[in-house]
A and B are shown apart, each in its own frame.
Chain A
Amino acid sequence: MAEGIACFANLNEALDQIPYAKLLGIQAIEQNGRPAFYLPFAEHNIGNVLLPAIHGGVIGGFLENAAVLHLMWAQESTGIPRVIDFSIDYLRSAKALDLHARCEIVRQGKRVANVLMTAWQEDESKPVATARAHFLLS
């Protein structure tokens, strides 16, 4: 990844090297020239068998991972940003369906970046969760 990961093929290559991202099944896709993230439904990501619903920790991990990749894409760097804090609001239960996510960098300083993340399923205007996090940039 000598040339950074500013292209989408390289984003997926980076994802492929993160074991937990592979375990969940996270994919990066291009949407209007920006990265978007996709988590196909998998039975092993279920956290509530009665509803059924995707585990809240899976949604958190998916969003945190999306923010990491989004920052790497925006910085054109291969260094993995380190999470400082992460705060997630669960707005709806996530059904046994695919998840989508996109991120927005609110502020990127020299050392620290603030990122907003949104996850949704069938309808982007009905998010299942929103999150914000700070990352230490490397």
Chain B
Amino acid sequence: MNGLWLPVAAPDFFAQVAPWFMALPHCKTLGLELVTAGRGKVTLKLPFKAALIGNPETRVLHGGVVTSLIDTASGISLYTLLDQPEAAATLDLRIDYLRPAKPDLPLYCTAECYRLTDSIAFMRATAYQADPDKPIAHSVSTFARMATTKESA
């Protein structure tokens, strides 16, 4: 992922869809927040909460929390490229856990939709804490775009 970016494809549409995602029950349970969005890319923030710990001895975040964060960020990155609602479903998601997430720090995830076809979206994502050069996890995933009724097309 390079550092160059463009605004989201349809700012008004994205401004509606992003809060809708953040308000989904499990996203609210986790406390996900949208940090920034550009064309094909989003960054989400997961504030640290004791309820999200996976190992009570080390207080490291549960891998499932990282999975939810990455799945959500990857899914939302699709909508930075669209100008109208459509459904998408995760087909597969692979995560490499590079180092444990430190307790008491927020976890960020930057996800990128780097290839979009009529039926499939291909994503990659990185989760990190204070230092983006020391990522917590890397992920690649694919999403199926659901056929939509093209009333407005």
Residues of A that sit less than 8 Å from B by CB:
17-24, 43-50, 54-58, 60-62, 64-65, 80, 82-90, 93
Known: A48-B24, A64-B62, A86-B97. 10 other contacts (CB 8 A): A17-B56, A19-B56, A20-B65, A21-B54, A44-B26, A45-B25, A47-B72, A56-B71, A58-B68, A65-B54
**C-alpha gap A80/B123 in the complex (Å):** 30
Check if B57 sits within 8 Å of A80, measured CB to CB.
yes
Task: Report how many A-B pairs have Cβ atoms within 8 Å.
Answer: 127
- Which of B10-18, B45-53, B124-132 is the interface stretch? B45-53
Tell me which residues across on chain A come within 8 A of B91, comparing CB atoms. Answer: 89-90
| Chain B neighbourhood of A89, CB < 8 A | 91-92
* Pick from B28, B57, B97: contact of A83, CB under 8 Å: B97
B63: interface (CB < 8 Å): yes
The chain B residues found within 8 Å of chain A, CB to CB, are: 24-29, 50-57, 61-65, 67-72, 87, 89-97, 100
Cα A32 to Cα B100 in complex, Å, equals 35
Cβ contact within 8 Å between B64 and A20: yes
Cβ-defined contact, A55 with B95, below 8 A? no
Q: Which of A20, A58, A60, A62 has the most CB of B within 10 A?
A: A20
Chain B minimum-CB-distance residue to A52: B25
Contact between chains at B51 and A20 (CB < 8 Å): yes
